[in-house]
């Protein structure tokens, strides 16, 4: 049903404006709500937490924390989350809950000329869904291979009577990841054939997502009861087991050791802000979509704080687990290095006065502290050509992204008793973390399209199936032997810049075009109490300037630093930084342009349409005066109607006066 303007006295002669207003409210309120809703608050929390808590909490946050000052980075992260992340999260929650539509409908209600913001969110969600599901496919592949003893990545394969050279010079886990799972090429230019195992796993991943989204939130939330809770069970199991391992305390100490000097580094602020931005899922439209299924009086202000801090605590929990296990792995490797070096010393015929005071009859008794102290005193250049065996350097190897999950952490699990069990539950955890995020990402695509186009709303199941089929077919790009490099390209460039621009427009449109005070008025009418006035200044100045600063820093970094990717060099058995070729730079540029294009296109389309078909001031501002850049109040609508009618559609009952 199309929205119809409220009748005036001319339409109903003999009735006062107040009588007409009351009758219309009663009529609209009696209409049944056609939009779905959550069965309980628990379902909503599972969905929002499941979307915001994803793979980045496990393999991105720990890396950033370790590389950027440990405890100092945690404090910086909390500060930015409080002054930027939570206010913007609250803004999206309130807008979605009030207007009860997806991102396209929300920003079109704010102003028809801003509808492109919602379409940009959909495009970015689609890009993210394409490569994110490939990561789920990799997790499925490793999960399926975990039911073996020993694990297939525990030892190097043997050809004839010799160990495979590539594996021997790298590690069994690196060899399995790059050669068996990916069968990767040396560069993005070498396309290679499709990996049949990854293709099969990708098909399975999209099938799971399709079945989970088959009936919208009614079906996906049933999966989330498991996919949102199970990761916490696994993390606590790993935490308890990790604390019992030798080297766990060293790993956690390295992670949390504060380095306050990092606060003076602009890049650290940029990385912290970006992590807050992506951890909460701002700009995707998924927050708006999930919130749109809430009742109007839901306390979205409390939800913003609750979900944000659950997300933060999950990141801290995952970081404790990661560095406890990585500390154990590093300690095992370093102690093996110490043992090897002590044995080398014992086999040399040297002047006893030059020999360190070690117990050569029992090399295992030499502690890391004693060896490190002797090595530092002897100087890095020693006549025995021994290695340093540095614990911190060992912990820094492969602790970011896929390198953490599929190499470093996987290697650590091979050292645990019952390694197949720990491997299986770890990759099942990754699979569930990814699924919850994928459900939210897909909802950020499907909900706005269903709200905007009635034909799609009537064919909800077909829309879901077709979207998943298209996602699988395009996703085959990532299953080539060079597919991992395309995943890196999409992850680094297809979402970051467009999403920041989307959030800048969101913040500007609400706080300046619509008006922060008026937005707070509408929230007050919706919740029954008025949020703190500090949000007005945070939205108008702090958040907007912070996002503009993040946008500027990101753009400058893209132009100053040549885009590169990490490629596996088979000859040297190591990762090397490689510049993107010209065609790849063109592709990533098109990804960014295509994601941002709906914003100017929507504005131009609306402007041209207004020029050809001049609308009344009421219509241009939105049906219920959703946005009115002119501060003059509407004459044909009461102030209370304006405040309570914030984005009310004909399919929803109006809140009682």
Q: Which residue has the tokens 């009735």?
A: 15
Under the banding of pLDDT at 50, 70 and 90, the label for residue 524 is very high
Give the integer Cα–Cα distance in Å for 91 and 282. Answer: 10
The three-state DSSP-derived secondary structure of 346-385 is HHCCCCHHHCCCCCCCCHHHCCHHHHHHHHHHHCCCCCCC
Residue the block writes with tokens 């009030």 = 98
- Relative to beta strand 162-163, strand 564-569 is unpaired
CA distances from 441 to 94, 165, 282 (A): 19, 42, 11
How many other C-beta atoms can be found within 10 angstroms of the C-beta atom of residue 190? 13
Residues 193 and 186: their CA atoms lie apart, in Å, by 14
630 CB-near residues (< 8 Å, 6+ apart): 617, 621
The count of other CB atoms within 10 Å of the CB of residue 438 is 28
Can you tell me the mean pLDDT for 606-631?
54
Q: What is the pLDDT of residue 197?
A: 92
- Residue 328 has a CB neighbour count (10 Å cut-off) of 24
State residue 623's pLDDT score.
38
Is 234 assigned to a binding site? no
Mean pLDDT, range 203-211, rounded to an integer: 94
50 labelled binding-site residue: yes
- Select the more confidently predicted residue: 303 or 260: 303
311 is in an annotated binding site: yes
- Its sign, for the CA torsion 483, 487, 493, 497, is positive
The reply to whether 380 sits in an annotated binding site is no
In whole angstroms, give the CA distance from residue 532 to residue 534.
5
Q: Where does the pLDDT of residue 353 fall: very low under 50, low under 70, confident under 90, or very high at 90 and above?
A: low
Measured distance CA(578)–CA(568) in Å, rounded: 10
Instruction: Convert the pLDDT of each residue in 136-183 to its tens digit.
Output: 999 999 999 999 988 999 988 888 778 888 888 888 998 999 999 998
Residue 577 to residue 3: CA distance in whole angstroms: 55
433 among the known binding-site residues? Answer: yes
Domains and CATH numbers, the chain: 36-335+397-644 (1.10.4160)
CA distance 29 to 553: 49
- Distance CA(218)–CA(560), nearest Å, equals 47
CA angle in degrees (0–180, nearest 5) for 73-76-78:
110
What is d(CA 82, CA 80) in angstroms, rounded to the nearest whole number?
5
CA 532 to chain centroid, in Å, comes to 29
For 209-268, the three-class secondary structure string (H helix, E strand, C coil) is HHHHCCCCHHHHHHHHHHHCCHHHHHHHHHHHHHHCCCCHHHHHHHHHCCCHHHHHCHHH
Token pair, residue 228, equals 């949102």
Report the interhelical angle of 115-145 vs 103-110 (nearest 10°). Answer: 160
User: What's the rounded Cα separation, in Å, for the pair 488 and 166?
Assistant: 23
Closest CA to 342 of 324, 364, 320, 326: 364
For residue 16, is pLDDT > 50?
no
Specify the range with the lowest mean pLDDT, choosing from 51-60, 212-221, 318-327, 533-542: 212-221
Nearest in space to 652 (alpha carbons), one of 216, 117, 119, 97: 97
Interval 107-143: pLDDT, tens:
888 888 888 899 999 999 999 999 999 999 999 999 9
Where b means 16+ CB within 10 Å and e means fewer, 100-118 reads bbbbbbbbbbbbbbbbbbb
Peptide bond into 150 cis (omega under 30): yes
Sign of CA dihedral 93, 95, 98, 103: negative
Helix (H, G, I), strand (E, B) or coil at 23: helix
Read off the pLDDT of residues 532-583 as tens digits, 9 standing for 90 and up.
999 999 999 999 999 999 899 888 888 888 888 888 888 887 888 899 999 9
Task: Determine the Cα–Cα distance for residues 44 and 145; give it in Å rounded to an integer.
Answer: 34
Q: Give the whole-angstrom CA distance, residue 71 versus residue 258.
A: 4
């Amino acid at each position: 049903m199309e929205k119809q303007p409220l009748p005036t006295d001319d339409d109903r002669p003999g009735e006062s404006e107040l009588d007409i207003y009351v009758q219309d409210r009663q009529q609209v309120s009696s209409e049944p709500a056609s939009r779905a809703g959550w069965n309980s608050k628990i379902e909503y929390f599972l969905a929002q937490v499941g979307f915001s808590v994803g793979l980045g909490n496990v393999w991105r946050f720990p890396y950033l924390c370790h590389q950027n000052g440990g405890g100092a980075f945690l404090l910086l992260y909390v500060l930015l989350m409080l002054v930027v992340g939570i206010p913007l999260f609250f803004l999206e929650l309130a807008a979605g809950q009030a207007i009860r539509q997806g991102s396209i409908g929300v920003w079109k209600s704010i102003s028809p000329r801003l509808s492109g913001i919602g379409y940009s969110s959909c495009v970015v969600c689609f890009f993210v869904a394409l490569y994110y599901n490939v990561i789920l496919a990799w997790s499925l592949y490793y999960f399926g291979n975990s039911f073996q003893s020993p694990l297939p990545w525990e030892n190097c394969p043997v050809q004839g009577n010799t160990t495979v050279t590539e594996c021997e010079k790298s590690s069994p886990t690196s060899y399995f990841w790059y050669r068996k799972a990916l069968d990767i090429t040396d560069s993005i230019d070498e396309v290679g054939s499709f990996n049949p195992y990854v293709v099969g796993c990708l098909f399975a991943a999209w099938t799971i997502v399709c079945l989970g989204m088959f009936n919208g939130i009614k079906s996906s939330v049933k999966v989330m009861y498991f996919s949102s809770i199970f990761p916490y069970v696994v993390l606590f199991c790993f935490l308890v087991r990790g604390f019992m391992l030798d080297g766990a305390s060293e790993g956690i100490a390295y992670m949390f050791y504060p380095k306050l000097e990092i606060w003076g580094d602009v890049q650290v602020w940029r990385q912290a802000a970006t992590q807050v931005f992506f951890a909460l899922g701002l700009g995707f439209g998924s927050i708006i979509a999930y919130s749109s299924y809430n009742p109007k009086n839901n306390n979205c202000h409390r939800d913003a704080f609750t979900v944000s801090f659950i997300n933060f605590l999950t990141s801290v929990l995952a970081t404790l687990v990661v560095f406890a296990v990585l500390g154990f792995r590093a300690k095992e490797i370093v102690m093996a290095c110490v043992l090897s070096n002590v044995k080398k010393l014992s086999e040399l015929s040297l002047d006893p006065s030059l020999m360190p005071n070690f117990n050569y009859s029992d090399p295992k008794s030499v502690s890391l502290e004693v060896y490190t102290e002797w090595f530092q005193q002897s100087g890095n250049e020693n006549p025995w050509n021994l290695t340093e065996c540095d614990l911190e350097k060992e912990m820094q190897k492969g602790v970011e992204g896929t390198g953490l999950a599929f190499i470093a952490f996987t290697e650590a699990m091979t050292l645990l008793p019952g390694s197949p069990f720990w491997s299986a539950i770890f990759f099942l955890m990754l699979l569930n973390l990814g699924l919850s995020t994928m459900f939210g990402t897909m909802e950020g695509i499907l909900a706005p399209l269903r709200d905007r186009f009635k034909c799609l709303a009537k064919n909800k199941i077909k829309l879901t199936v077709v979207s998943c089929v298209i996602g699988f077919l395009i996703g085959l790009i990532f299953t080539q032997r060079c597919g991992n490099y395309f995943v890196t390209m999409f992850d680094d460039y297809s979402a970051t810049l467009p999403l920041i621009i989307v959030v800048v427009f969101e913040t500007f449109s609400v706080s300046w075009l619509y008006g922060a005070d008026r937005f707070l008025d509408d929230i007050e009418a919706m919740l029954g109490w008025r949020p703190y006035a500090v949000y007005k200044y945070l939205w108008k100045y702090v958040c907007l300037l912070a996002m503009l600063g993040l946008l500027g820093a990101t753009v400058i970094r893209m132009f100053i630093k040549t885009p590169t990717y990490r490629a596996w060099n088979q000859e040297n058995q190591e990762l090397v930084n490689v510049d993107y070729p010209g065609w790849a730079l063109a592709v990533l540029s098109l990804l960014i342009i295509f994601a941002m294009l709906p914003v100017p296109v929507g504005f131009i389309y609306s402007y041209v349409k207004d020029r050809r078909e001049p609308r009344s001031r009421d219509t241009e501002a939105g049906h219920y005066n959703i946005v009115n850049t002119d501060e003059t109040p509407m004459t044909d609508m009461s102030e209370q109607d304006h405040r309570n009618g914030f984005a009310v559609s004909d399919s929803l009952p109006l809140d009682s006066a």
